[in-house]
Chains A and B, each alone.
Chain A
Amino acid sequence: MSSWQLKRLNIIVGALGSGKTELAINLALYLAARKPTAIVDLDIINPYYRTRYTKDKLEKMGLEVICPPHGIMQADIPALPASILGVITGEDRYGVFDVGGDDIGATVLGRFKTFLPSGQYAVFFIINTCRPAMGTPENIITMLNGIERASRVKVTYLVNNTNLGSATDVATVASGYQVVAEVSRQTGIPVAFTAAHEELQEEVAGLDLGTPVFLLHRFMRPPWDEE
């Protein structure tokens, strides 16, 4: 299980509710510390908790946020701005793509497949084994195959993002890792890292999982829990 190699374009896919948006935002902010970074909201199936709802905040933090313009940002329509192609072809910046959930959400990625420069992008398949019907390697591999078929791109890395929201403890993360490691053995796709909430930093580091730990700050919050 090698650790991951940074590419210019980083595409996040996974089942509905697996944590793609949180990972995409955190990864984009991590990359932005090195070079200008754009985050692309490719989620056209999720009505609420997607990157565009934190646009102002992320722009203040130095990210370029690519999403539909204000008037239709919250509309229930599958709008994709033309500036997405600028991120794919422009070599001056990193790009992080937050793709919609399941095979249905990943279909939109297929539209950009022919533009993706080979060798310059990585596809991260993010896994939360605490989600319904995502607890076993069989279910996860079925989902992975469905997303690859719908998007017509191959997954480069697995990411363990197993969590129970506010009820997550270090045992939750560890049990999810065992399942993700088994998926890796069966598919030959390496695990890039385990993603965990920043509050669990020390405990997760103590697990010694053999893959890096990527710490997440939470951006998607309900209105009674705003920062």
Chain B
Amino acid sequence: MARVLMKGNEAFGEGAIRAGCRYFFGYPITPQSELPHFLAKRLPEIGGVYLQAESEVSAINMVYGAAAAGARVMTSSSSPGISLMQEGISYIVGAQLPCVIINVMRGGPGLGNIAPAQGDYFQATKGGGHGDYKLIVLAPASVQEIITHMQLAFDLADKYRNPVMVVGDGILGQMMEPVDLEGTGGEMAEPSKPWATTGMRGRKERNIVNSLCIVPEENEKNNLQLAAKYGEIQRSEQRWEEYGLDDAEWVLVAFGTVARVAKGVVDKARKEGIAAGLIRPITLWPFPEKAFNKVIDQVKGFLTVEMSLGQMVEDVRLCVQGRQPVRFLGRPGGMVPSVREVYEELKKMAGVKTCG
């Protein structure tokens, strides 16, 4: 069973199990329901716990509890359900606990629809809940990458004692691709968690898990400690993929499913004599500013493409700092930009005359 044909939603589940996750708490919502469906079958087979909570609010607080006890634990949902979880996520950050949260994004705002979208970028990368905090946010672009990102997500969560969110969109969740499971997961030892609330075990001091910090001086210290952690993450954990970037004059910026479209645009442009390349952010936070600094003096401009009205483009502009033009093309509400329309936009930007 080294090679299988998997749905993205199944891969989130399989990747989590291979990364040592044995606890799932969640509530079904389209377009990610195959993920809880898959884990409802698989987790009991391997001695794990699958529990369908009565709401997303309950689910995230169950995650909080399991994380406090030191378990590798996850939840998953889609846009509106993730909105419901925001209070709990902020608590988990405040208590400095690791967990993994999956968001298979759909069209919003509101109930919106069940079509693919990327309109939760701000929510994922800029906090989402209350208070000063960050999530590490991973954005896989293929079913194979979902498997490797699940391992990475649990490892980073444990390393920094912070929730990690893995975002996809409905297409990534629903599509099927061949996946090689050889060499994934395995016997990697989880880090010890001396802070976990698992009983005294001979210790003299009690372990207390809490996000309440009443004295302002102490809470400021707490916040500064978080800030120091986020600084370290920004220095060490930026990840991105480059495609055709070495001699690129025009650089597309896209993540997840849209990056697959953008690769098609780069190929098409190269065939027709436009030196195009792609930066695909793999970590949406920390945003890979190092990738931009590398090419900023060599390129003529950036074209950011998203399934939203323009969210990641703000981070692109912060990296570029006015040194080059940054253009944006987006399709909101569950629509997916086509290779053709992105290519037309790129041609306009590159000043190539369209015939007719």
Residues of A within 8 A of B (CB): 16-17, 46-49, 74-76, 128, 130-133, 135, 163-167, 222-224, 226
- Complex Cα spacing A155 to B113, Å: 35
Q: How many Å from the CB of A198 to the closest CB on chain B? A: 18
Is B1 an interface residue when CB atoms closer than 8 A count as contact? yes
What residues of B have a CB within 8 angstroms of the CB of A167 in the complex? 3, 178
Stretch of B4-12, B207-215, B321-329 on the interface side: B4-12
What residues of B have a CB within 8 angstroms of the CB of A132 in the complex? 1, 4, 6, 10, 14, 38
Most chain B CB neighbours (cut-off 10 Å) among A49, A75, A130: A130
Q: How many Å from the CB of B170 to the closest CB on chain A? A: 6
- Complex Cα spacing A226 to B113, Å: 23
B3 touching A164 by the CB < 8 A rule? yes
Is B34 an interface residue when CB atoms closer than 8 A count as contact? yes
B5 touching A223 by the CB < 8 A rule? no
A165 touching B5 by the CB < 8 A rule? yes
A47 touching B30 by the CB < 8 A rule? yes
Q: Looking at the complex, which one of B31, B41, B170, B177 makes contact with A165 (CB distance below 8 Å)? A: B177
What residues of B have a CB within 8 angstroms of the CB of A224 in the complex? 260-261, 263-264, 339
Is B114 an interface residue when CB atoms closer than 8 A count as contact? yes
What residues of B have a CB within 8 angstroms of the CB of A164 in the complex? 3-5, 178
- Subset of 11 A-B contacts with CB under 8 Å: A47-B114, A48-B31, A48-B174, A74-B114, A128-B5, A130-B4, A132-B10, A132-B38, A222-B175, A223-B261, A223-B338
A74 touching B115 by the CB < 8 A rule? yes
Q: How many Å from the CB of B180 to the closest CB on chain A? A: 9
Residues of B within 8 A of A (CB): 1, 3-7, 10, 14, 30-31, 34, 38, 41, 113-115, 170-171, 174-178, 257, 260-261, 263-264, 336, 338-339
What residues of A have a CB within 8 angstroms of the CB of B176 in the complex? 17, 165
What residues of A have a CB within 8 angstroms of the CB of B3 in the complex? 130, 164, 167
A222 touching B260 by the CB < 8 A rule? yes
Pairs of residues from A and B, 6 with the lowest C-beta to C-beta distance, nearest first: A167-B178, A48-B174, A164-B178, A223-B336, A224-B260, A130-B5
- Complex Cα spacing A76 to B1, Å: 33
Q: How many Å from the CB of B337 to the closest CB on chain A? A: 8
Q: At the interface, is chain A mostly helix, strand, loop or mixed?
A: loop
Q: How many Å from the CB of A191 to the closest CB on chain B? A: 20
What residues of A have a CB within 8 angstroms of the CB of B336 in the complex? 223
| A164-B4, A224-B263 known, 13 other contacts, Cβ within 8 Å | A48-B170, A48-B175, A49-B175, A130-B178, A132-B6, A163-B5, A164-B5, A165-B5, A165-B176, A166-B177, A223-B261, A223-B338, A224-B264
- Complex Cα spacing A130 to B170, Å: 23
- Complex Cα spacing A46 to B114, Å: 11
If the complex has contacts A76-B114, A224-B260, are A135 and B174 also in contact, measured as CB distance less than 8 A?
no
B113 touching A166 by the CB < 8 A rule? no
Q: Looking at the complex, which one of A74, A75, A135, A226 makes contact with B1 (CB distance below 8 Å)? A: A135
Beta-carbon nearest neighbor of A132 in chain B: B4
A74 touching B5 by the CB < 8 A rule? no
B5 touching A131 by the CB < 8 A rule? yes
- Complex Cα spacing A128 to B176, Å: 12
B175 touching A17 by the CB < 8 A rule? no
B177 touching A47 by the CB < 8 A rule? no
B113 touching A74 by the CB < 8 A rule? yes
What residues of B have a CB within 8 angstroms of the CB of A163 in the complex? 5
What residues of A have a CB within 8 angstroms of the CB of B14 in the complex? 132
A76 touching B178 by the CB < 8 A rule? no
What residues of A have a CB within 8 angstroms of the CB of B174 in the complex? 46-49
B170 touching A47 by the CB < 8 A rule? yes
- Complex Cα spacing A39 to B257, Å: 30
Most chain B CB neighbours (cut-off 10 Å) among A130, A131, A132, A166: A132
- Complex Cα spacing A226 to B260, Å: 12
Beta-carbon nearest neighbor of A226 in chain B: B338
What residues of A have a CB within 8 angstroms of the CB of B34 in the complex? 16
Beta-carbon nearest neighbor of A46 in chain B: B174
What residues of B have a CB within 8 angstroms of the CB of A128 in the complex? 5
If the complex has contacts A49-B174, A222-B260, are A17 and B5 also in contact, measured as CB distance less than 8 A?
yes
Beta-carbon nearest neighbor of A166 in chain B: B178
A165 touching B178 by the CB < 8 A rule? yes
Q: Looking at the complex, which one of A16, A48, A74 makes contact with B171 (CB distance below 8 Å)? A: A48
Beta-carbon nearest neighbor of B340 in chain A: A226
What residues of A have a CB within 8 angstroms of the CB of B338 in the complex? 223, 226
B31 touching A47 by the CB < 8 A rule? yes
- Complex Cα spacing A222 to B31, Å: 15
What residues of B have a CB within 8 angstroms of the CB of A165 in the complex? 5, 176-178
Beta-carbon nearest neighbor of B171 in chain A: A222
